[in-house]
Chain A
Amino acid sequence: MNGLLLVGGKSSRMGSDKSKLVLRDGLSQKQRGLKLLNSVCNQVFISTSEGTSEPGTIPDAFGPIGPLGAIASAQKSDPSSPWLVLACDLPLLEEEHLITLIENRSIAHEATYFVSAGDALPEPLCAIWEPASAAAVSSALESGKQCPRSVLIKLKAHALPSPGRWPLTNTNTKADLIEIRARLAQKTSVKNITISYFAQLRELTGTSQETLKTESETPAGLFEEVREKYRLTCKRKGMMVAVNSNFTEWTHQLSDGEEVVFIPPVAGG
């Protein structure tokens, strides 16, 4: 089994290079990702941008189009090996999760993946992509598609139950980082938060108000819990949030007794 570590994310929501963040064990996310992959794979490669040729790297052969291009590049460089593809920004992922993935791998399928806790969709960037998936990957790229998850959904793939919310939580935003740091430091607290739902969220959740006992530190974390609870596919991108009837940031530090409203795109007038 080959390992492919993805470090080339744009980090546009974080504003700084996620792979260089040091969150655990004094290791950057890139170093920690390498260590995890090295513990379970025979050979490990880092996906890098076009034009590099250092040993242990696989340069993007399809231009700067993201993870699907990286997966295709790895499959092109070694078509006969399965690839364990891993995003570097999963600080709460443990070696045991990769072992679960490998032990439950199905070679009769084109891929083996974990289901995401939030929306129950396949997680493409902590998954094993078999040689048999290469045709679908390259034909998706040829037709201009760039989303590995959409490709994975269409593959004959083997799904493993979600390992829970945290192991597959990325450090995409500052709010994610607050939640992850609180868990690493074991400094989360239980709060009672009242959530009111309006419009489509009211219809999808089937309730206009509820009080949740939560360990989320931010409205962003709370929203992920709600997504998981009601299997919502919507993302917080494009949405606003209010706490105690004032607009606030997704990184707001929640306190016991606060009232939260998630605000889908507005359409007044």
Chain B
Amino acid sequence: MFKLTNEPIDPVALCDEVRDPSAGGFASFEGWVRNHHNGNEVASLEYESYPELAEKEGERILKRILSEHDIVAARCVHRTGHLQIGEIAICIAVSAAHRDAAFAACRAIIDAIKATVPIWKKEHYTDGSSDWVKCHTCSDYSSLHNH
């Protein structure tokens, strides 16, 4: 249900994977590479994963959502590698008998993935600098105030 890929994501193919005669609703979420973050101009994004655990954790999340929501099927693909502005970084597809469950499950999946799946992103800025998102404390003295 959860996959990592180095190739561009095909959202239509992912939609087809959750198609089912019993499904009357379909919801999807796509995360795109955006040209700005916290006031900085972003030129591109680099995604890196810990593949063994990312796939295991992604799969665990989708299984949990499938059991907790009244949905028919769910899939997720996360891209890794160097992505340009506008490219799809993540695509989630959910089918359900009715729309409420499809929307809710789709939202729950992206929130859970962002919280625990071991994938990191490095932002490359237009001024040539770069930074790992959410990981500033690893390299500077601001970590002094976290103890």
Contact = CB atoms under 8 A, between A and B. Distances in A.
A269 B114 contact: yes
Contacts of A264: 120, 132, 134-135, 138
Contacts, number: 112
- Which of A147, A198, A235 counts the most chain B CB atoms within 10 A? A198
Contacts of B144: 121, 147, 149-150, 233
- Which of B118, B143, B147 counts the most chain A CB atoms within 10 A? B118
Interface residues of A, number: 31
B66 interface: no
A150 B142 CA distance: 10
B114 A237 contact: no
Given A268-B47, A268-B114, 15 more contacts: A121-B144, A198-B49, A198-B120, A201-B138, A235-B143, A235-B147, A242-B118, A245-B52, A246-B56, A261-B118, A263-B50, A264-B138, A265-B134, A266-B118, A269-B78
Interface of A: 121, 147, 149-150, 196, 198-204, 232-235, 237-238, 240, 242, 245-247, 261, 263-269
22 contacts: A150-B145, A198-B49, A199-B120, A199-B132, A233-B137, A234-B139, A235-B146, A261-B50, A264-B138, A266-B114, A266-B116, A266-B118, A266-B134, A267-B114, A267-B133, A268-B49, A268-B113, A268-B114, A268-B120, A269-B78, A269-B90, A269-B113
